[in-house]
């Protein structure tokens, strides 16, 4: 299955008799609010210019539930998620392409969530908006209502206990920056460190300088060196966003992987769960 699409191929498909539904998932992880600055406004960025026909989807409000004990970006209510997708024109038999501002994390969250909910034709625009060389639009589309109804469970999902067990029985990858894995710094969550047994595998190393994914063979070699071959693989991050990007990179490499959606924000919120620090998995 091809999980990515180039900007050139997307332009061709948009001009075809069966264009994909386009979802704009612009979002940024930011600590600007804590510093007194205004947080990134994805909707405003969308309204200033987006791919023609794209519908904006709010990651915080529509691709996640309210933050709490389940993490900063727990899974959304499936009935509400289904309504949002149908309102954006998503049908079960219609191809979907998702994109963001270029980092790829938010688009990957939408890709993973749609696949987990049972949609089997979802691709991410490789390189995001920055890769698009065609015109942008400021018009707001009015898509025809889709018929997609979520059927969760189509791809792997881990809870905290499952992630802890997989760190011992298979390979659990931590997609955060290495300094957060080690516990050197922790700008967001209660405590720094990692799930005992997890391996550091920053998702930023899955892409080149242009923000596009490395070739499948390069990704396969990277994950093989981490032991993620011929075994069960799981991924977590801070709150289930950049981890989805790593699951996507693994899929490009031909390696199925489950996502621990609650991730470190859920794990670290419970003081009874063990925390490992330093460069070693422990």
Is residue 237 flagged as an active site residue? Answer: yes
**DSSP three-state, residue 24:** strand
* Catalytic residue selected from 131, 173, 237, 244: 237
Sign of CA dihedral 170, 176, 178, 183: negative
Two tokens, residue 217: 């063979």
Measured CA to CA, the distance from residue 226 to residue 219 in angstroms comes to 11
**DSSP three-state, residue 137:** strand
Residue 117 makes CB contacts below 8 A (sequence gap 6+) with 78, 81, 82, 150, 151, 152, 154
The angle subtended at Cα 82 by Cα 78 and Cα 87, nearest 5°, is: 150
The catalytic residue positions are 237
């Amino acid at each position: 299955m091809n999980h990515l699409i180039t900007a050139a191929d997307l332009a061709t498909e948009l001009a075809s008799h069966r264009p994909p539904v386009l979802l704009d998932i612009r979002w940024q992880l930011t600590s600007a609010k804590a510093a007194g600055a205004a947080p990134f406004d994805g909707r405003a960025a969308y309204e200033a210019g987006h791919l023609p026909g794209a519908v904006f989807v709010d990651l915080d409000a529509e691709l996640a539930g309210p933050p709490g004990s389940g993490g900063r970006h727990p899974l959304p209510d499936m009935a509400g998620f289904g309504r949002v997708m149908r309102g954006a024109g998503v049908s079960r038999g219609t191809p979907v392409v998702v994109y963001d501002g270029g980092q790829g994390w938010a688009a990957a969250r939408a890709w993973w969530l749609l696949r987990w909910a049972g949609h089997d034709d979802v691709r991410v625009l490789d390189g995001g908006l920055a890769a698009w060389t065609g015109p942008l639009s400021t018009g707001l589309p009015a898509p025809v209502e889709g018929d997609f109804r979520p059927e969760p469970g189509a791809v792997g999902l881990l809870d905290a206990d499952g992630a802890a067990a997989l760190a011992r029985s298979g390979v659990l990858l931590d997609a955060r920056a290495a300094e957060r894995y080690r516990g050197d710094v922790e700008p967001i969550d209660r405590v720094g460190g990692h799930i005992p047994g997890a391996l550091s595998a920053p998702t930023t190393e899955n892409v080149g300088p242009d923000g596009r994914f490395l070739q499948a063979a390069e990704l396969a070699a990277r994950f093989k060196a981490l032991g993620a071959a011929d075994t069960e693989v799981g991924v977590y991050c801070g709150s289930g966003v950049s981890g989805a990007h790593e699951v996507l990179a693994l899929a490009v490499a031909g390696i199925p992987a489950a996502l621990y959606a609650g991730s470190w924000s859920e794990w670290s919120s419970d003081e009874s769960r063990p925390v490992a620090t330093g460069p070693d998995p422990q």
